Amino acid sequence: MLTISFRGKDMPASPIRKLVPYAEAAKKKGIKVYHLNIGQPDIETPPAILDAVRNADIKVLEYSHSAGNESYRKKLVQYYKSVGIDVTPEQIIITTGGSEAIMFGFFTCLNPGDEVIIPEPFYANYNGFACAAGVSVVPITSHIENGFALPPIADFEKVITNKTKAIIICSPNNPTGYLYSRAEMEALKEICLKHNLYLFSDEAYREFCYDGEYVSAMHLQGLDQNTVLMDTISKRYSACGARLGAFVTKNKEVYDAAMKFAQARLSPPGLAQIMGEAAVDLPASYFDAPKSEYLSRRDVLVSRLNAMLGVFCPNPGGAFYAIAKLPIDDADKFCQWLLEDFSYQNQTVMLAPATGFYGTPGLGKSEVRLAYVLNVTAINAAMDCLEKALEQYPGRVK
């Protein structure tokens, strides 16, 4: 008998998507589901970037250069300059979404058996990328009580071994919304220099900072050879389906190694690069409206959550996510119960259990992640559902 071994069997399920079958079943019963489980904005994609594709004079949709079209990379140089990042087109590889940029970082800078340190809770797919690369994630716990601030550097020092090769940071953060301060970023710089570690910087949400200064890893002096920036247009321009990202580094050896992976997958999406070029031409004022909208949504969500009995939600400084602590016994059971057994006025809410965002077993059992990607009216309706659900949930903790 043929025995088949699947490497993916150890890959964790997405806490964001694993409950989708229950949501689909609820909808088939006629229940309206408010999706606060996933970072899919409802902000309209800028018409100008969609028109750029519609109006493109294309006779043959060819492969692009494996690094991406030179014209787009030159445009990105302009964009990065506008946010204080000085790079050249030869330091940018265009990727299929931010996900591929992150995978290139794992495959390029880490070998099987290496370790990467990540403050938890963290973007759940880092686990999947680490699994694919044969790399171990070493979590350092941040805490909801102080808004998920960077853990003390002493906590990092305790877990650094000869297998440690990188630290991953996401600011503004998914899933917590925490915006790392310059002092925190400088502290990360020092530990990376001290132990010769890479700093992987996931900056998908840089345009959405509400309380504090955006500090890129590429703003840190003296860390050029250690820094790998992972980027995407998905959230910036509400264009998740474009699947267009960027891998950016000034380390020539890292760049050259990443290019081999880029060549192996041939080229990034062609039509999306046309969108990306057009996006750079949008006025800087374009971001004023979506940023203001997300800020309004954040304020409504956080105030509604903190007004509920037994609920605590710190105020996120950026992105469009928040983690809340609820008076429940088990977040996974609660989120499934919301979809299977609960409705209020024929409506319910879909949340992401926070357990999937922690690397340490047992953490996050009373926490959920909420994405404030729906309009204020929908958020209020979703919070009405959540408030009623917490009153009725059999596993409520008093």
Domain with residue 182: its CATH number is: 3.40.640.10
What is the residue range of 217's domain?
47-281
CB atoms within 10 A of CB 118: 21
Which pLDDT value is given to residue 8?
55
- The Cα–Cα gap between 120 and 149 comes to 10
Q: Of 281, 315, 333, which residue sits at a domain end?
A: 281
Q: Are residues 332 and 299 in the same domain?
A: yes
398 domain-assigned: no
| 397 within domain boundaries | no
Same domain, 23 and 52: no
Q: Is residue 314 part of a domain?
A: yes
Q: Once rounded to an integer, what is the mean pLDDT over residues 296-323?
A: 98
Report pLDDT digits (tens) over 41-83: 999 999 999 999 999 999 999 999 999 999 999 999 999 999 9
- Is 71 found in the same domain as 137? yes
For residue 321, give the CATH number of its domain.
3.90.1150.10
Q: Residue 298: which of 382, 372, 391 has the closest Cα? A: 372
Q: What percent of the chain has pLDDT over 90?
A: 95
Output helix, strand, coil percentages for the chain, rounded to the nearest 5. 45, 15, 40
Mean pLDDT of 121-138: 95
pLDDT above 90: residue 148 = yes
Given 237, 258, 281, the domain boundary residue is: 281
Mark whether 275 and 294 lie in a shared domain. Answer: no
Residue 205 lies in a domain: yes
Tell me what pLDDT residue 18 has.
82
Mean pLDDT within 95-108: 98
Indicate whether 25 belongs to any domain: yes
Mean pLDDT for the stretch of residues 265-271: 97
Residues 88 and 237 in one domain: yes
Judge if 179 and 103 occupy the same domain: yes
Residue 1 lies in a domain: no
pLDDT at residue 6 greater than cutoff 80: no
Count: domains in the chain: 2
- Supply the pLDDT for residue 14: 72
Q: Do 91 and 21 share a domain, yes or no? A: no
- pLDDT surpassing 60 at residue 165: yes
Claim to verify: residue 229 and residue 360 sit in the same structural domain: no
Question: Is pLDDT at 5 greater than 70 in this prediction?
Answer: no
**Average pLDDT value over all residues in the chain:** 96
pLDDT digits (tens, 9 = 90+) for 172-181: 999 999 999 9
Domain boundary among 229, 252, 281: 281
67 and 170 assigned to the same domain? yes
Q: What is the pTM of this model?
A: 0.94
Q: Which two tokens stand for residue 271?
A: 């039509």
Q: Compute, in degrees rounded to 10, the torsion defined by CA atoms 261, 263, 264, 267.
A: 110
CA distances from 254 to 69, 179, 193 (A): 20, 27, 17
In a shared domain, residues 119 and 168? yes
94 is a domain residue: yes
Say whether both 106 and 150 belong to one domain.
Answer: yes
Q: Counting beta carbons within 10 angstroms of the beta carbon of residue 253, is it exposed (0 to 12), middle (13 to 18) or buried (19 or more)? A: exposed
With 80 as the cut, is the pLDDT of residue 187 above it? yes
Confidence tier at 90 by pLDDT (50, 70, 90) = very high
Residue 16: per-residue pLDDT:
66
How far, in Å, CA of 344 to CA of 337, rounded?
13
Instruction: Please indicate, yes or no, whether residues 116 and 158 belong to a single structural domain of this protein.
Output: yes
Residue 4 is assigned to a structural domain of this protein: no
| Rg of the Cα atoms in the chain | 21
